[in-house]
Amino acid sequence: MGRLFGTDGVRGVANKELTPMLAFEIGRAAAFVLAEKQERPVFVIGKDTRVSGDMLENALTAGILSVGGNVIKLGVIPTPAVAYLVRHYEADAGVVISASHNSFEYNGIKIFNGDGFKLDDSIEERIEDIVLAHDFAHPEYVGEKLGRCLEGESNALHTYTEFLLGTMDRRLDGLSVVLDTANGASYQTAKMVYTALGADVTMLADEPNGININEHCGSTHPEALQAKVVEIGADIGLAFDGDADRLIVVDDRGRLVDGDRIICICARMLQEEDALFDERVTATVMSNIGLHKYLRERGITVDVTKVGDRYVLESMLKSGSVLGGEQSGHMIFLNYTTTGDGVLSSLQFMKAVLASGKKVSELRDEIEIFPQAMVNVRVMAEGKKKAFDDSEIAARSKAIEEELKGTGRVLIRPSGTEPLIRVMLEGPDEEIITKYAEELAAMIGERYGE
């Protein structure tokens, strides 16, 4: 796997790339590094519904206990719940076992610090160095020096849902809401929250069996949600991904409302409440031209970062921005939490809808989104970097932008979690930009494809 930590932790096919031994070594190294500041570091561990979660949870736990760390197991719980509960339990680190929106055979390990933020790069690098050196030398941990599994509160999920409910200042009585939980980590949380707020709730993809996570459902496959909203005449549909840190909305006409539109709608609410610090939000290079146009017309500045919620958060912490996110549905409401939280984001969106007095479809149509064409190219590992150094690809990309005459753009970037290069074009004519995207993807595939 090379260097272990990507933009979103360690990820790979469970029991092939991400093995129990590797999970053990990561747990052991993390506990050893954190023990330099706290003699017996406490870790909280949560997981999504993948079949490999139990295996990796127990291997990781064994590694932590073997060098004197202690563990609180949270069970199946959303990623953002771990970020919240690590603070609630006053633990030293929180670990999430999940591969987010990837299919069930993948899994991952992501670590938060005691404040609920992702680990500093320097700490990740130390953990990597220890794991990859394969000759970890440490004091002998036997007898009373070994760690143990601690008892947390009887219901961590209840503690987290109470926190979510505390972020909502109005009821949802009379609203028909369809929830698609991707057979993932929010399959209990989302229903509990929306039922408690009085909504008329219809559930989709809320029967996880270990292998159906993200399977034709959730934020990356919202087709069934769109159909159900139209079928029953619901007011809104809300889709989360496997670890529940993303949100995609479906309006009352069955149309998608992606992260860019969600940011716009929530930014307007915060601005009207005088709660949008410095009149700014944070977005990534993937955000649509339409987002920039809508927010600029309202005097709101957009800080642009690389793709990845860690980069969004870093920028927000520097600028003081309280709202940031990605087109894919990762939203960070920094006044409430330290990471993307799909259910919390959905509650903020519901507040914006209620405050507006409009239907979701009406709010959606106020924001003009320009067509985007995206083509993913599967490449060899070394191809990710070489493609960006390829002068012919760079020259053709520049020529295409010139042909678009300032009305569009070209973006080529590597995936942070898969062996893919993503080619994205944006412009007013979908047919033209699709043709250009396919042309560039073919160039990359011929040179660097698997």
157 — pLDDT class (breaks 50, 70, 90): very high
- Each residue's pLDDT tens digit, 278-335: 999 999 998 998 999 999 999 999 999 998 888 999 999 999 999 999 999 999 999 9
417 — pLDDT class (breaks 50, 70, 90): low
- Asked if pLDDT for residue 75 goes beyond 70, the answer is yes
| CA distance linking residue 211 with residue 108, whole number of Å | 15
- The residue among 231, 235, 264 whose CA lies nearest residue 250 is 235
**End-to-end CA gap in the chain:** 17
Amino acid in the structure at residue 206: D
> Which pTM value belongs to this model?
0.88
pLDDT for the residue 153? 62
pLDDT for the residue 1? 42
pLDDT for the residue 151? 80
Report whether 32 contacts 130 (CB < 8 A).
yes
Query: Does the CA dihedral 203-206-207-213 come out positive or negative?
Result: positive
What backbone torsions phi and psi does residue 264 show, to the nearest 5 degrees?
-60, -50
Q: 10-24, 147-161, 360-374 — which is least confidently predicted?
A: 147-161
pLDDT for the residue 294? 95
- Asked if pLDDT for residue 182 goes beyond 50, the answer is yes
What backbone torsions phi and psi does residue 34 show, to the nearest 5 degrees?
-70, -25
Q: Within a 10 A sphere around the Cβ of 231, how many other Cβ atoms? A: 11
- Each residue's pLDDT tens digit, 117-142: 988 888 999 999 999 887 677 778 88
- Asked if pLDDT for residue 406 goes beyond 90, the answer is no
| CA distance linking residue 438 with residue 448, whole number of Å | 15
Report whether 123 contacts 134 (CB < 8 A).
no
- Asked if pLDDT for residue 2 goes beyond 60, the answer is no
| CA distance linking residue 51 with residue 374, whole number of Å | 31
Non-local (6+) Cβ contacts of 306 within 8 A are: 284, 285
Mean pLDDT (the chain) is: 93
Amino acid in the structure at residue 370: F
Q: 63-67, 364-368, 370-374 — which is least confidently predicted?
A: 370-374
- The residue among 15, 45, 10, 17 whose CA lies nearest residue 31 is 45
Q: Within a 10 A sphere around the Cβ of 186, how many other Cβ atoms? A: 35
Taking the mean position of all CA atoms in its chain, how far away is CA 317?
Answer: 18
Catalytic annotation on 100? Answer: yes
- The share of the chain scoring above pLDDT 70, in percent, equals 98
pLDDT for the residue 382? 76
415 — pLDDT class (breaks 50, 70, 90): confident
303 burial type by CB count under 10 A (0-12 exposed, 13-18 middle, 19+ buried): middle
SS3 per residue for the chain: CCCCCEECEEEEEECCCECHHHHHHHHHHHHHHHCCCCCCCEEEEEECCCCCHHHHHHHHHHHHHHCCCEEEEEEECCHHHHHHHHHHCCCCEEEEECCCCCCCCEEEEEEEECCCCECCHHHHHHHHHHHHHCCCCCCCCCHHHCCCECCCCCCHHHHHHHHHHCCCCCCCCCCEEEEECCCCCCCCHHHHHHHHCCCEEEEECCCCCCCCCCCCCCCCCCHHHHHHHHHHCCCEEEEECCCCCEEEEECCCCCEECHHHHHHHHHHHHHHCCCCHHHEEEEECCCCHHHHHHHHHCCCEEEEECCCHHHHHHHHHHHCCCEEECCCCEEEECCCCCCCCHHHHHHHHHHHHHHHCCCHHHHHHCCCCCCEEEEEEEECCCHHHHHHCCHHHHHHHHHHHHHCCCCCEEEEEECCCCCEEEEEEECCCHHHHHHHHHHHHHHHHHHHEC
pLDDT for the residue 381? 76
435 — pLDDT class (breaks 50, 70, 90): very high
438 burial type by CB count under 10 A (0-12 exposed, 13-18 middle, 19+ buried): middle
223 — pLDDT class (breaks 50, 70, 90): very high
154 — pLDDT class (breaks 50, 70, 90): low
Report whether 294 contacts 274 (CB < 8 A).
no
| CA distance linking residue 164 with residue 10, whole number of Å | 28
**Beta-strand relationship, 10-13 and 106-113:** antiparallel
52, 66, 98, 100: the catalytic one is 100
- Each residue's pLDDT tens digit, 225-255: 999 999 999 999 999 999 999 999 999 999 9
- Asked if pLDDT for residue 443 goes beyond 80, the answer is yes
